[in-house]
């Protein structure tokens, strides 16, 4: 299955998650592209939207090829085969740079009347636009799990077989719209439009969705 864009994929993902509407559910999306889908899911479920801040660590010879990932509330996760022979000093430098970026994004996304949703004891739906290696999602799950949720559900439109194997036993449930056997090698290959999402759009979506949810509760 292909998707017109992230928003269209988010709407389909929201339908697959409709049983988790309301209650103690919180949607957390991976910035930046995953927030577009997360916004659609949170609107459909009528629940708060937040982000789980993670950063990919690319290979020294190809930064687009992930060999690891790091979150704001967890240790780095790596593909142990890919980091064999990689300079340890270089890895420590990349980890420090990733944490600096994560902190900058936290300051960009939150502030004023916009604060991260509490997830302790909640059913947390972690959303992204897809999974190729599964490393960023592994780091995201670790970060969420450190905050003691009741349950973690990972929801993506597309995922590789490799990424699903990487998540075995880490989440309570995986919801994937497309068959992993049909993964086309890159998440973007499954979208007709796959443009970059900037930090301003992430913050705008967080503000809009949570503002709408707060007003919805106030009107009850």
Tokens of 185: 């090698």
112 has pLDDT over 90: no
The span from the CA of 3 to the CA of 25, in Å, is: 26
CA 37 to chain centre: 9
Query: Could you report the per-residue pLDDT of 138-196, keeping only the tens digit for each?
Result: 999 999 999 999 999 999 999 999 999 999 999 999 999 999 999 999 999 999 999 99
- Whether 94 maps to a domain, the answer reads no
Q: What is the pLDDT of residue 91?
A: 94
Environment class of residue 162 by beta-carbon count within 10 Å: exposed (0-12), middle (13-18) or buried (19+)? middle
What is the separation of C-alpha 18 from the centre of its chain, rounded to a whole number of angstroms?
Answer: 19
103 domain residue, yes or no: no
Whether the predicted pLDDT of 217 surpasses 80? no
Task: Report residue 216's pLDDT band, with 50, 70 and 90 as the boundaries.
Answer: low
**From CA 100, how far away is CA 189, in angstroms rounded?**
30
Residue 152 within a domain: yes
Give the C-alpha separation, 63 to 110, whole Å. Answer: 28
Count of the separate structural domains present in the chain:
1
Return the DSSP state at 65.
E
In a domain, 20, yes or no: yes
Distance, in Å, from the CA atom of 96 to the CA atom of 73, rounded to the nearest integer, reads 14
Cβ–Cβ < 8 Å for 103, 133: no
Whether residue 23 lies inside any domain: the answer is yes
Quick one: tokens of 31? 């910035």
pLDDT score of 74: 86
Question: Within a 10 A sphere around the Cβ of 195, how many other Cβ atoms?
Answer: 10
Over residues 120-144, mean pLDDT: 97
- Domain hosting 11: range is 6-53+110-218
For residue 97, what are its two tokens? 């740079």
Q: For the stretch 112-150, what's the b/e string if a residue is b when 16 or more beta carbons lie within 10 angstroms of its beta carbon?
A: eeeebbebeebbbbbbbbbbbbbbbbbbbbbbbbebebe
**40 within some domain:** yes
What radius of gyration do the chain's Cα atoms show?
17
pTM of the model: 0.94
Distance of CA 138 to the CA centre of its chain: 10
Residue 29 lies inside a defined structural domain of this protein: yes
Contact indicator for 13, 37 with CB cutoff of 8 Å? yes
Q: Is the pLDDT score of 219 beyond 50?
A: no
The tokens describing 94, both together, are 């990349």
Per the domain annotation, does 77 fall within a domain?
no
Q: Are 45 and 79 in contact, with CB atoms under 8 Å apart? A: no
Cα 176 from Cα 168, distance rounded (Å):
14
pLDDT tens figures, 18-75: 999 988 999 999 999 999 999 999 999 999 999 999 999 999 988 888 899 999 888 9
CATH number at residue 29: 3.40.50.2020
Mean pLDDT in residue range 188-217: 91
pLDDT exceeds 90 at position 85: no
């Amino acid at each position: 299955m292909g998707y017109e864009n992230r928003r269209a994929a988010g709407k389909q993902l929201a339908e697959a998650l409709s049983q988790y509407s309301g209650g103690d559910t919180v949607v957390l999306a991976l910035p930046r592209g995953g927030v577009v889908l997360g916004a659609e899911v949170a609107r459909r479920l009528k629940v708060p939207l937040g982000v789980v801040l993670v950063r990919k660590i690319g290979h020294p010879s190809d930064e687009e090829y992930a060999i690891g990932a790091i979150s704001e509330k967890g240790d780095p996760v790596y593909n142990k085969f890919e980091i064999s022979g990689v300079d340890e000093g270089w890895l420590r430098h990349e980890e420090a740079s990733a944490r600096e970026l994560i902190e900058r994004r936290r300051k960009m996304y939150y502030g004023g009347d916009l604060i991260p949703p509490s997830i302790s004891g909640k059913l947390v739906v972690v959303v992204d636009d897809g999974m190729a290696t599964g490393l960023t999602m592994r780091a995201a799950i670790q970060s969420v799990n450190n905050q003691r949720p009741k349950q973690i559900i990972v929801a993506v439109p597309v995922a590789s077989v490799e990424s699903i194997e990487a998540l075995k036993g880490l989440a309570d449930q995986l919801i994937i719209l497309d068959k992993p056997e049909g993964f086309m090698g890159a998440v973007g290959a499954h979208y007709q439009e796959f443009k970059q999402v900037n930090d301003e759009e992430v913050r705008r979506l967080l503000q809009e969705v949570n503002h709408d949810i707060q007003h919805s509760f106030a009107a009850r």
